[in-house]
Amino acid sequence: MEEKTKIGIIICDRYRTCAGGKCLRSMRNREGAFSIYADSDVELVGYTTCNGCPGGNIEYAGDEMVKNGAQVIHLATGLLVGYPPCPYIDTFKDFLEKKYGVKVVLGTHPIPQKYLDMHTQLGTWMDPAWSPRLSATLEDEAVRNAYN
């Protein structure tokens, strides 16, 4: 039996009441940032919020997830698509990777088309630094529309 990749998901606190439907669907369907697991099994070992700016739960959540076996922590798509996007996302990624030695992936589910349209109109992601941040969550238009 193939070993499972154990993952944790940290969402933006603005979406703290989110039931995780889009993240879990994309994990099940291996869409968006979960496409990296196309040929492997995954197990969710933690799901929580950052606890609001400036991310007071990042340290605790990372510790707890790693204790539960997390090998990869996903910073949810909501951190990328919120208005404004999370200003701490790179700090969170760097901290979690250095402190806990886990891989950190930016994104979970594909970016919904409505968010791509609005951020394009706003010019939010014009800076070239956004291209690698968004790359795991950009799917074709049909998939983006399915996540609206």
Q: Is the pTM value of this prediction over 0.85?
A: yes
CB of 93 within 8 A of CB of 106?
Answer: yes
131, burial (CB in 10 Å: exposed 0-12, middle 13-18, buried 19+) = exposed
Mean pLDDT for back-to-back runs of 10 residues, the chain (148 residues): 87 95 97 95 97 96 97 98 96 98 98 97 96 95 96
pLDDT of residue 62: 96
pLDDT of residue 2: 65
pLDDT of residue 140: 92
Given this structure, which CATH class describes domain 5-146? alpha beta
pLDDT of residue 3: 79
Please report the beta strands in 12-124, taking only residues with DSSP state E, as ranges in sequence order: 42-49, 72-75, 103-106
